[in-house]
Amino acid sequence: MADGERFDMSATKAKVVARDVSVFYGEKQALFDVDLEIGRNEVTALIGPSGCGKSTFLRCLNRMNDVIDGCRVVGSVKVDGTEILDDGIDAVQLRRRVGMVFQKPNPFPKSIYDNIAYGPRIHGLSRDKDDLDEMVQSSLEKAGLWGEVKERLQQPGTGLSGGQQQRLCIARAIAVRPDVILMDEPCSALDPIATAKIEELIDELRESFSIVIVTHSMQQAARVSQRTAFFHLGVLVEVGETERIFTNPVDERTQGYITGRFG
């Protein structure tokens, strides 16, 4: 997708607009009428106690809920003004533009090179081998991993450390040049040093992508995000500038959560 087209869409500042999104797992409703906007080139953090529907909401944005049997999503989600919950939208194409990084690092059991090259290959993004090599290198560079793996591109991605694996997964996600990157607790399986590296990386990636990150760590939300949304029992309670949410929450449930009274 050309950059020009992207700018044309930027009439509003919001990259993704969710309206009245409700999600049902079978009979059980997990998300209630969520209205949320995701800003362009900024990091939005979703926080809230476990089981409140953060992951469920995140998965609405790239329609990963489609693959769960019995899961139903109603409402409207627009990416750059295009309704993505329509049946006519190809979820596979959507996921190229809205990438995802998961809680547990999940590199393919293939070489580091093939991990990155897989996305560009299946989407036909590269003209030739050199082009692909370049894409692999730039993706790894953006993910801050190039220096550590450039000598061992043909070795298995599963042989890297946990933090490196997660950065490999981020590199894999950005290799298909998405607009939005969704991250579901990307650091929860990592040690503090690896976590710090990823947080640094997220801050850098903000320049090129719009990022939504689910986190259970309020410090992390405070460190990396510009906007924060607080979920509770399937309801979006409050959303606003991160600083304001943490210093001056309006809702008392938010206050209770950030001061550690429940969670």
Ligand X SMILES: Nc1ncnc2c1ncn2[C@@H]1O[C@H](COP(=O)(O)OP(=O)(O)O)[C@@H](O)[C@H]1O
Query: What residues make contact with ligand X under the rule CB under 6 A?
Result: 25, 30, 48, 50-56, 68
Residue whose C-alpha is closest to residue 162's, from 137, 195, 131: 195
C-alpha 176/C-alpha 171 separation (Å) is 9
Q: Is 55 in the site for Mg ion (CB under 5 A)?
A: yes
* Cβ 184 to another protein shortest distance, Å: 10
Residue 149 binding target from ligand X, another protein, Mg ion, none, CB below 5 to 8 Å by type: none
Contact stretch for another protein (CB under 8 A) within 64-72, 138-146, 195-203, 214-222: 64-72
Contact stretch for another protein (CB under 8 A) within 49-57, 129-137, 170-178, 230-238: 170-178
Give residues 107-126 in contact with another protein (rule: CB under 8 A): 107-110, 118-119, 122-123
Q: Are 105 and 170 in contact (CB under 8 A)?
A: no
* Cβ 188 to ligand X shortest distance, Å: 11
**Phi and psi for 28 in degrees, rounded to 5?**
-85, 125
Q: Are 114 and 156 in contact (CB under 8 A)?
A: no
Residue whose C-alpha is closest to residue 110's, from 151, 169, 167, 67: 169
Q: Are 78 and 16 in contact (CB under 8 A)?
A: yes
Residue whose C-alpha is closest to residue 135's, from 114, 164, 156, 152: 114
Q: Is 100 in the site for another protein (CB under 8 A)?
A: yes
Residue 122 binding target from another protein, ligand X, Mg ion, none, CB below 5 to 8 Å by type: another protein
C-alpha 211/C-alpha 145 separation (Å) is 19
Residue 96 binding target from Mg ion, ligand X, another protein, none, CB below 5 to 8 Å by type: another protein
Q: Which is nearer to another protein, 19 or 123 (CB)?
A: 123
Residue whose C-alpha is closest to residue 204's, from 157, 168, 170: 170
Judged by the rule CB under 8 A, the positions of this chain that interact with another protein are 62, 64, 67, 69, 92-96, 99-102, 104, 106-110, 118-119, 122-123, 156, 158, 169, 172-173, 175-176
